[in-house]
Amino acid sequence: MSTNADVSVTLARNATVLATVDETTFLVDPLFAPQGALPPIDDTPNDRANPLVPMPDVDLAHDAVIVTHRHPDHFDEAAKAELDADVPLFCQPAEADAFVEEGFTDVRPVEDAASFADVTLHRTPGRHGHGELAERMGPVSGFVLEGDETLYLAGDTVWYEPVAETLDRFEPDAVLLNGGAARFNEGEPITMGVDDVVAVREATDAAVAVAHMEAINHCLLSREELRSETEDVLVPEDGEAIEL
C-alpha cells in the first residue's frame, strides 16, 4: 500500500486490516470467506449467515501476517487456503502449533516482543468479554507495532485495566479498536461498545479508529450509532484507508 504516512490503516472488512508502520505492511486477522459463506455465530440475536457483507476491492499486498486469535471471524479456511505458506505469521504462543499443522512454514509466536523489518511487535493483553464468559472465549491478544511511530491494535477486548496500562506504557500515536459490541443472547458484550470506545478516547491523545463493525451477525452496534455517540473517533467504512 502506497502512503507517505508513518502509520496508516486500510480496513478491508470486520477485523481484517492492512496496518502500515513506516513502510512495513501487516495483514491483520484475515477473513477471506465470500459473503454468506459461513454459518451464523450460535446463540446470538440474529441468524444471518456470515460474513454479512462482501470483501471490498482492496489490494491486500502485505509483508507479514498477524493473527490476534483464531476465532473464525479472524482467521478462516479461505485465508488458510489463500495465504502464502511461507509468509511470516505472528501469533499467540498457544496457537502457533495449529498454524504449523496447517502448513505455514514461518510461524513466529510472540511471547512478549518480536522484530520484523524495522518494526517491533509487542503482544499485549486482551479480555474478550466479562467474567466467566471471557474465560470461555479463550486467550486473545492485541499487538503494538512500534516503528518511528506506534500503532496499538487492541484486538478483541473490552475496556479494562490492562488496556489502560498498554496506553500508558506505549503512548501510541494511533489506536485501532475492535468495536461492534458483539454479544450472545446472554451476558455483556465481548468486544467494545460505545462506553469502551469513549473510555479509550478519554485515556489517550492518540488518533483512535474503530473496526470490527457491521460484518458479523453478533456485532449489534452500528457505525452510525457509534459515530453519533462519540467525538473525535474515526469509524472507517469497509475498503477505506485512513492515515493516522
Per-residue pLDDT, averaged over 137-141, amounts to: 95
Euclidean distance between CA atoms 118 and 40, whole angstroms: 40
User: Is pLDDT at 242 greater than 90 in this prediction?
Assistant: yes
What's the pLDDT at 6? 87
Per-residue pLDDT, averaged over 26-47, amounts to: 96
User: Is pLDDT at 1 greater than 60 in this prediction?
Assistant: no
What's the pLDDT at 115? 98
Q: What is the pLDDT of residues 41-63, one digit of tens each?
A: 999 988 999 999 999 999 999 99
Distant-in-sequence, close-in-space partners of 188: CB < 8 Å, separation ≥ 6: 129, 130, 131, 133, 158
Q: What is the pLDDT of residues 64-96, one digit of tens each?
A: 999 999 999 999 999 999 999 999 999 999 999
User: Is pLDDT at 3 greater than 80 in this prediction?
Assistant: no
